[in-house]
Amino acid sequence: MTEDIKIQKNLFREKYKKIRSEIPKDQKALFDKAIFERVISLPQYKNCQYLFTYVSIESEADTLQLIKYSLSNGKKVAVPKCRSNHGMDFYIINSLDDLEKSSFGLLEPKTDICMKAPNDCNALCIVPAVCFDVKGCRIGYGGGYYDRFLSGFLGDTVGICYHKCLCGELPKDIYDISVNILVTENAFHDIKRSDKI
């Protein structure tokens, strides 16, 4: 990554983290509900056997409702565990009780009781970001964990964010991997077909 792109990304990251943190709680709850309903209506969600998803914290678009719903409807839910080399593995959980707080403050699977998810399964991956652009490009938190994971992931990917955190075009380098589908509280975009629904 060039220094110029790194600086640009940091500016976008700080701008949209601030925008996201300023969304009132009652409004955020409505946005989260709308995003959840859009995600579970996707054919890619209905047809997947495994749901790979981050566990949301603080101002992130909520995934806890999606995790609970998926577990209660027979899907296998896998959540990420970060490795020290900036790699990431997904582990299958049976409930939110299978999670513990990591040194980063994230909720991660208890690897002593959770099995690692297979790489070749019928999975849909929910991808976090501070912001997305309309082409599915994302700015995350700067660690590169998801880009490394997605470089070998064969399933569909769904980026979820609030409409306020969607912009026209983000700076991108050769290692950045875009999502296939983008969901906000207002609409979803099929990036492959360039559709807005």
Give the tens place of pLDDT for each residue, 105-129. 889 999 999 999 998 899 999 999 9
pLDDT of residue 197: 39
The pLDDT, as a whole number, for residue 190 is 86
- Phi-psi label, residue 58: left if phi above 0, alpha if psi -120 to 50, beta otherwise: left
Residue 195: predicted pLDDT: 46
pLDDT of residue 76: 98
pLDDT at 193: 53
pLDDT at position 29 over 70: yes
Q: What pLDDT sits at residue 196?
A: 46
Which pLDDT score, from 0 to 100, does residue 189 have? 84
Q: Give the span between the Cα atoms of 91 and 98, in whole angstroms.
A: 10
Q: Cβ–Cβ contacts within 10 Å for residue 37, how many?
A: 12
The pLDDT score that the predictor gives to residue 102 is 83
Distance CA 44, CA 41 (A): 9
CA 139 to centroid of chain Cα atoms: 11
Residue 141 has pLDDT above 50, yes or no: yes
User: Which pLDDT value is given to residue 1?
Assistant: 57
Cα separation, 40 vs 70, whole angstroms? 9
Q: Cβ–Cβ contacts within 10 Å for residue 25, how many? A: 7
Task: Tell me the average pLDDT across 162-186.
Answer: 93
Is the model's pLDDT at 176 over the cut of 80?
yes
Q: Which residues pair with 182 in a beta bridge?
A: 159, 189
Which residue would you say has higher pLDDT here, 66 or 101? 66
What distance in Å separates the CA atoms of residue 152 and residue 169, rounded to the nearest whole number?
A: 25
Average pLDDT of the residues in 13-38: 97
Question: Can you give the pTM of this predicted structure?
Answer: 0.92
Give the fold, CATH level 3, of 3-186.
Rossmann fold (3.40.50)
